[in-house]
Amino acid sequence: MKIVFLLHDTYGIGGTIRTTLNLATALADRHEVAIVSMRRHRTEPRFAIDPRIRLVPLVDVRKDSADLRDPRYTRPSGVFPAAESRHRQYNALIDDRVADYLSGSDADVLIGTRPGVNVYLARFGPRGALRIAQEHLRHDAHSKRLRAQLAPHYRTLDALVTMTEADAAIYRRRMPLPGVRVLSVPNSVPEPRVPTADGTAKVVAAAGRLARGKRYDLLIEAFAGVAEKHPDWRLRIYGHGPERDGLAQLIDDLGLTDAVRLMGVRSPIEPEFTRASVVAVTSEAESFGMTLVEAMRCGVPVVSTACPLGPAEIVRDGVDGLLVPVGDVAAFTKALLHLVEDEPGRRTMGAAALENAARFDPAHIARQYELLFATLRETRGARAHARRRAAARSRARDLLHRARLLGVARRAARLLRAG
């Protein structure tokens, strides 16, 4: 089977790129796999790509590239949705290159990985292929305008895959897609090539973009209560982002410069997690929660906010980690102290985390996708019938609405004539 993934820019760093590569590598054990990158901004990808996977860049945006001199490069995209956050990075040249590639593709399965790319898939993907949209962000993270732009295109696809069942339920409720299979398949995380954490290090770790929604300010404030009782423990936060200077100032204001460090970016992150005994996530919302799974695959228990949507589907509260209310500093401090002060308990949780996180292994997730491919092929006729039936109902509703409006107009005209 020929499987093609469509990515925004395979040459960058990001969770969607990493998880796509994980899945593509697992599928390459039994299938012919390619990754099509809408853009190419550097010579080599930052992540290693399995040599069995064919990488196809469509538009080269590196300095001195001939693509930059193509007049279509400066014309805005007429396909990529205007409400999508990456809209300014798309243009008529990408539109044409994607259309040319997809129209000539002989792939059996095409998988898009972000909303705007999924619109390309809907517009240009050959109808003979299975066309699957992945949503790596939550439904509610999209603006109402973007959701309205996506819905008519998503209705033409075969499946919509979210990262959590909670998000799939929201799509089923708020964006009806007749004939489209809406389901969740979690991201995959491979077994790390590092020794499992032993739970003895007096370190709490966190990793991610230093952005407001991650609430690292709350984590630092919560850790202040840990440092007060256990001054030999340390907090290490990995990542970069716009909140860095503010977080550094907060660390200084709380007198935690010896206890808390902003470590910058580390890739891969797993070696850093194995040097910790607890990994913390304080986000207000997560579409999935890759950091949680990465930590658990290293045998590290986690403390996470019970934020929408991912953590509750990853962490088994009290078994392989702890879940606390969003925004509650005192509760987060209490949860951290629980693990800091109970070394046997956190080792037990770490062992459970290692065992439970195996369900996110790429081979297991790849089998879920293979089952989805088979199901979509088997149900093609039934889904097409459901789509036609829904379209007929929609047309009937429109005709009835127009008839009612016409009847109202005629009655008004009679009243005017009578008056």
- The mean pLDDT value for 379-401 works out to 84
Residue 23: which pLDDT band, with cuts at 50, 70 and 90?
Answer: very high
Looking at the predicted structure, is the pLDDT value of residue 224 above 70? yes
Helix (H, G, I), strand (E, B) or coil at 264: strand
Higher pLDDT, 42 or 413: 42
Looking at the predicted structure, is the pLDDT value of residue 366 above 90? yes
The radius of gyration of the chain's CA atoms, rounded to the nearest angstrom, is 25
Helix (H, G, I), strand (E, B) or coil at 178: coil
- The mean pLDDT value for 6-13 works out to 95
- Read out DSSP for 309-351? BTHHHH--BTTTEEEE-TT-HHHHHHHHHHHHT-HHHHHHHHH
Looking at the predicted structure, is the pLDDT value of residue 412 above 70? no
Looking at the predicted structure, is the pLDDT value of residue 304 above 90? yes
Beginning with the edge strand found earlier in the chain, give each strand of the sheet holding 203-207 in spatial order: 260-264, 234-238, 203-207, 278-281, 302-305, 321-324
CA distances from 151 to 133, 135, 333, 380 (A): 12, 13, 42, 20
pLDDT in tens, 179-194: 999 999 999 999 999 9
Supply 158's token pair: 């075969």
CA distances from 144 to 113, 136, 162, 213, 387 (A): 20, 17, 18, 20, 24
The CA-CA-CA angle for residues 319, 197, 356, to 5°, reads 35
Beginning with the edge strand found earlier in the chain, give each strand of the sheet holding 181-184 in spatial order: 54-60, 32-40, 2-7, 109-112, 130-135, 159-162, 181-184
Residue 397: which pLDDT band, with cuts at 50, 70 and 90?
Answer: confident
109 sits in which H/E element: strand 109-112
pLDDT of residue 419: 61
Backbone angles phi, psi at 352, to 5 degrees: -65, -40
- The mean pLDDT value for 113-117 works out to 98
- What's the distance, CA 25 to chain centroid? 18
Please provide the distance, in angstroms rounded to a whole number, between the alpha carbons at the two ends of the chain.
73
184 sits in which H/E element: strand 181-184
pLDDT in tens, 251-295: 999 999 999 999 999 988 999 999 999 999 999 999 999 999 999
Helix (H, G, I), strand (E, B) or coil at 134: strand
* Inter-residue contact 4 to 132 (CB < 8 Å): no
Residue 344: which pLDDT band, with cuts at 50, 70 and 90?
Answer: very high
Distance CA 333, CA 130 (A): 48
| Side chain identity, residue 194 | V
* Inter-residue contact 9 to 37 (CB < 8 Å): yes
pLDDT of residue 227: 98
| CATH number for the domain running over 2-184 | 3.40.50.2000
The CA-CA-CA angle for residues 253, 258, 259, to 5°, reads 90
* Inter-residue contact 124 to 98 (CB < 8 Å): yes
Q: Under CATH, which architecture does the 203-356 domain have?
A: 3-Layer(aba) Sandwich (3.40)
- The mean pLDDT value for 397-409 works out to 75
Distance CA 136, CA 115 (A): 9
* Inter-residue contact 283 to 307 (CB < 8 Å): yes
pLDDT in tens, 144-171: 999 999 999 999 999 999 999 999 999 9
Q: Which residues contact 260 (CB under 8 A, 6 or more apart)?
A: 220, 223, 227, 234, 235, 236, 237, 251
pLDDT of residue 410: 78
Cα torsion at 239, 163, 24, 47 (round to 10°)? -10
Q: Which residues pair with 236 in a beta bridge?
A: 205, 261
pLDDT in tens, 24-68: 999 999 999 999 999 999 999 999 999 999 999 999 999 999 999
